Amino acid sequence: MESYWFPFDNLLCMLLGISFTVWFTLLLVFIIVPAIFGVSFGIRRLYMNTLLKIFEWATLRMERGAKERNQQLYKSCSNGIIAKEPASLEQEIQEVRRSGSGLGGAEFDVSDIMFFCRRGVESIVDDEVTKRFSAEELESWNLLTRSNYNFHHISTRLTVLWGLGVLIRYGILLPLRVTLAFTGVGLLVFLTSVIGLLPNGEMKSFLSEKAHLMCYRICVRALTAIITYHDSENKPRNGGICVANHTSPIDVIILASDGCYAMVGQVHGGLMGVIQRAMVKACPHIWFERSEVKDRHLVAKRLSDHVADTSKLPILIFPEGTCINNTSVMMFKKGSFEIGCTVYPVAIKYDPRFGEAFWNSSKFGMVNYLLHMMSSWAIVCSVWYLPPMSREEGEDAVQFANRVKAAIARKGGLADLLWDGGLKREKVKDVFKEEQQKLYSKVLVGGGEDRSRS
């Protein structure tokens, strides 16, 4: 029996050996070597364009299928599904009164409740905040079930294509990406530890820069991220702070593969902790202990000390404090804007057609999220480096933060919201309700005697 299998066994081993060799050679030539030198063969762009054509075809098929059955295709709409009146509280109430009694006087009328009622029901049907914390909906289908809302319009041909897509993504792309990811992270830890043994000086900084860039580029390829950098002349320089909008933990990799930054964050345990400790050996990053994070004074001092030393790299900070779904920019926390140095804003916009980059931390854990990322088609994004900004005379930290936020939102084509990203988990503060009450009382009581609480 055994001798019967022997020749096949040998043949199998040989075939496996050859395919592994070929595999790794291709990997080395097409991915790792370009990553080291920062060049690109353009393979990823070709891949992206091919995918786009396939998606268009898939959407057309679905539309045709829907038309044949005389049904409407569900189309997404991220700008809101109902028409909201932009008129203010005062205008609306005056209008109702005027149409009623013809007086428009400043007296309470039983119909006033209708304004609040309608506003309330409008917010039940569609509110600005809730939809920012779930993944954006897509107009066309990108062959991932997680983004398809027109389930019953799929024809056999599409199902076959979808099945093929699953095979390619999970069978070929995922293992490739996981290998690369491990390579990238492993190299990062190894190289930074080695460089950390050198004495401080120009050589060390130069080598550490190269090592960081190379490893991040490998990680970028591990995600098949296709990034377009705009306005690179505005890239952040030493002695400044770089702020960007936050969509996922991958933002760090995307920015750090084009320039060197000093990271800021909490000290973690486990694998993250190992990476953090290794990185800080090669060049100074700012890692806070859990206890230190609450002490805002201490945090501010460490940041300003770092910024004052112009030999140290620019700090990378995400002022929103949490992941938002990349359709809007939420309130920036003022801490990093109080330090008083140059701020380099960066806008990051992901193209959701190829893979949803948003991390919904209440729904998915980190591992689940990374799995999603690595089994999508690609991560396509654009990065815009905005011209540096500084705090102006008479501007306080909050106003400065809002100015930077508006610039980022404008450049990235995102909605600029005043809401706090912390609302993902916390309740609305009573102060908002009081604002509404204040506005209404002004309409009633008028501008005469000021009885409102300050």
Partner 1 sequence: MPECKCCSKVYFKMVKCVLLEQLQHFVNQLTHSVASAHLVRLYDRYQALDKDNKGYLCPQDFGAIKELAMNPICDRIIGAFFTSGQEILDFPSFVRILAHFRPVDKNRPKEPNSPDPINSRSNKLKFAFQLYDQDKDGKISRHELLQVLRSMLEKQVTEEQLESIADRTIQEADLDRDDAISFEEFRKSLDKVNIDHKMSIRFLR
**Residue 219 in tokens:** 């990680």
- CA pair distance 284, 296, nearest whole angstrom: 20
Half-sphere exposure of 190 (CA within 13 A, CB side): 8
Cα 49 off chain centre by? 23
Under rule CB under 8 A, residue 64 binds partner 1 = no
- CA pair distance 361, 376, nearest whole angstrom: 18
User: Are the C-beta atoms of residues 27 and 179 closer than 8 Å to each other?
Assistant: yes
DSSP structural state of residue 389? B
Under rule CB under 8 A, residue 67 binds partner 1 = no
Among 63, 109, 136, 338, indicate the residue that binds partner 1 (CB under 8 A).
109
**Residue 86 in tokens:** 């932009």
Among 128, 231, 338, 416, indicate the residue that binds partner 1 (CB under 8 A).
128
Among 107, 289, 295, 309, indicate the residue that binds partner 1 (CB under 8 A).
107
* Closest separation in Å from C-beta 208 to partner 1: 41
Structural element, H or E, at residue 12: helix 2-27
Under rule CB under 8 A, residue 447 binds partner 1 = no
DSSP alpha helices (H): ranges in 376-426? Answer: 397-412
The angle formed by the CA atoms of residues 148, 149 and 154, to the nearest 5 degrees, is: 70
Q: Which residues, 312 to 371, sit near partner 1 by CB under 8 A?
A: 362-363
Task: Please name every residue paired with 263 in a beta bridge, in sequence order, or none if there are none.
Answer: 316
- C-alpha closest to that of 312 among 400, 203, 237, 229: 237
Query: In this complex, which beta carbon is closest to partner 1, that of residue 26 or of residue 117?
Result: 117
Under rule CB under 8 A, residue 288 binds partner 1 = no
CB within 8 Å of 196: residues ≥ 6 apart? 278, 281, 282
- C-alpha closest to that of 134 among 361, 333, 331: 361
Q: Please identify, among the stretches 16-24, 116-124, 304-312, 335-343, the one whose residues bind partner 1 according to the rule CB under 8 A.
A: 116-124
Under rule CB under 8 A, residue 130 binds partner 1 = yes
* Closest separation in Å from C-beta 63 to partner 1: 14
Query: In this complex, which beta carbon is closest to partner 1, that of residue 271 or of residue 445?
Result: 445
Under rule CB under 8 A, residue 87 binds partner 1 = no
Q: Which residues, 404 to 433, sit near partner 1 by CB under 8 A?
A: 419, 423, 427-428, 432-433
- CA pair distance 141, 383, nearest whole angstrom: 25
Binding mask 148-187 for partner 1 (x = CB under 8 A): xx-xx-----------------------------------
DSSP structural state of residue 114? H
Under rule CB under 8 A, residue 440 binds partner 1 = yes
Under rule CB under 8 A, residue 435 binds partner 1 = yes
DSSP string, 319-347: TT-S---SSEE-PPPGGGGSS-SEEEEEE
**Residue 253 in tokens:** 């990799």
Among 81, 167, 271, 308, indicate the residue that binds partner 1 (CB under 8 A).
81
Query: In this complex, which beta carbon is closest to partner 1, that of residue 46 or of residue 117?
Result: 117
Helix axes 366-374, 174-196, angle to 10 degrees: 120
Under rule CB under 8 A, residue 75 binds partner 1 = yes
* Closest separation in Å from C-beta 84 to partner 1: 9
Among 88, 99, 159, 266, indicate the residue that binds partner 1 (CB under 8 A).
99
Q: Please identify, among the stretches 81-89, 214-222, 251-259, 386-394, the one whose residues bind partner 1 according to the rule CB under 8 A.
A: 81-89
User: Are the C-beta atoms of residues 240 and 314 closer than 8 Å to each other?
Assistant: yes
Under rule CB under 8 A, residue 20 binds partner 1 = no
Q: Please identify, among the stretches 191-199, 243-251, 311-319, 444-452, the one whose residues bind partner 1 according to the rule CB under 8 A.
A: 444-452
Binding site for partner 1 (CB under 8 A): 71-72, 74-75, 77, 79-83, 92, 96, 99-102, 107-131, 134, 145-146, 148-149, 151-152, 362-363, 419, 423, 427-428, 432-438, 440-441, 444-445, 451-453
